[in-house]
Structure 1
Amino acid sequence: MSRAQVIRPAGAGHETLYVLLTALLILAVASTVVMLRGERVDEQVIASHQIDARRDLTPAEQGLYTDLHVALDEIRALREENAAVPSVEALAEEGLPPFVEDTSSASRGKHQWQWLDSGAYLGRSQDAQVAGSFLLVLPSEANAPADVWLRRDSSATAPDDLGSEALIAAGWQQVVSHYDAGVTREHRH
């Protein structure tokens, strides 16, 4: 006679409990890691007369701002070579943006550049809707950083005084760059 033995299945309740506990443990560890290693938002505070080059400029203005910083190196080299600040015409002959008139300058506001004897290049925008007027104030020391100022209305005139207070009073805003961990990972919601 054969004997049949009945084997009952293991209870699913214990297995489900173990899977849920493991999932909760994984979520707790992952949450802890995210909280400890998550991106900090270190918002750099800028003065009321300043604007951030990354966040507050239009794409055309960002391009002009970058061109001015690249041009500054060439201006310094030409000033050292010729013992004088290069004219706007000399910079245009060198093909140096933003001083040269080309399709890029036409799409960025058609700025009319001039040298101011007080020590700055003024680029008056012909289309303030696209980009404001720029002022590149050359530093007195050879390797000091230059100041870049922006005025977005169409009444930008050549300032008599290049001091910060005078420029602020005349409606100019200083363009500043702050490079931090969020430069390439900024998320605006």
Structure 2
Amino acid sequence: MSTPTTQVVRPAGAGHETLYVLLLCLMILAVAGSVVAWRHESPTVSNVSSHQLDARRDLSASEQGIYADLRVTLDEIQLLQQEQQALPTPEALADEGFAPFAQDASSVSRGGHAWQLIGAEAYFGQSQTPAAVGSFLMRLNAADGAPNIWLNRAATLTAPTDLTDAALESAGWQQIVAQFDAGVTRQHRH
């Protein structure tokens, strides 16, 4: 008979494998961190002038709605202006159902503005509830068709007669500006 031999088999060392996995994880984190740091863009904050309001940050929800309605209705106003060779009256726009000129439940909850045409270049909407929603002035620029929309939150207000920037500023009007940056779209396209 032969003597039994005992063979001792040592388990494979997990220490080296663990070390390699940890080193691989650290290398992946270092590469990812460097890519993030390399591609990082510092946010550019555009400041508005003292006579301007940011449409996104400085307006109430009702005022934002009226501002958006005015911007959307502008295309229709320009089409009607080309057909009629003059700006359409607020009554004609209301008859067509264009917000914010139409008198409906939405317009009442947003201040019940009474709209009027000033000369041949601007629409003035006086708020019936100035404590909640300001009055609007949409001045159309004949050169490029771009509107200048202004807001005044004064309790007592009459339609302005001088529509220059300086006159509107001195009367307490503030121009509404729309800034579209990464904060608005929440997308980074590179």
Q: TM-score, normalised by structure 2?
A: 0.88
Deviations 1:106-146, CA, capped at 9 Å, x for gaps: 121111111112631111112234321110011123x4311
Instruction: Tell me which moved more, 34-43 or 109-118.
Output: 34-43
Question: Which residue of structure 2 lines up, in the alignment, with residue 105 of structure 1?
Answer: 107
Structure 1 residue 176, shift from structure 2 partner: 0.9
Letter in 2 for 1:168: E
Asked if residue 168 in structure 1 is aligned to residue 169 in structure 2, the reply is yes
Q: Is the 8 A contact 2:86 2:120 kept in 1?
A: no
Q: TM-score, normalised by structure 1?
A: 0.88
Q: Is the 8 A contact 2:131 2:155 kept in 1?
A: no
Aligned residues: 185
Letter in 1 for 2:75: D
Instruction: For structure 2, list consecutive stretches of 5 or more residues without a partner in the other structure.
Output: none
Q: Which runs of 4+ in 1 moved over 6 A?
A: none
Q: Percent identity?
A: 54
Instruction: Tell me which moved more, 8-17 or 24-33.
Output: 8-17
What is the alpha-carbon distance in structure 1 between the residues aligned to residue 157 and residue 12 of structure 2? Answer: 84
Instruction: For structure 1, list consecutive stretches of 5 or more residues without a partner in the other structure.
Output: none
Question: Which residue of structure 2 lines up, in the alignment, with residue 58 of structure 1?
Answer: 60
The alignment partner of 1:106 has SS state of helix
Q: Is the 8 A contact 1:139 1:147 kept in 2?
A: yes
Question: Which residue of structure 1 lines up, in the alignment, with residue 159 of structure 2?
Answer: 158
2:16 counterpart (14, 17, 36): 14
Question: Which residue of structure 2 lines up, in the alignment, with residue 32 of structure 1?
Answer: 34
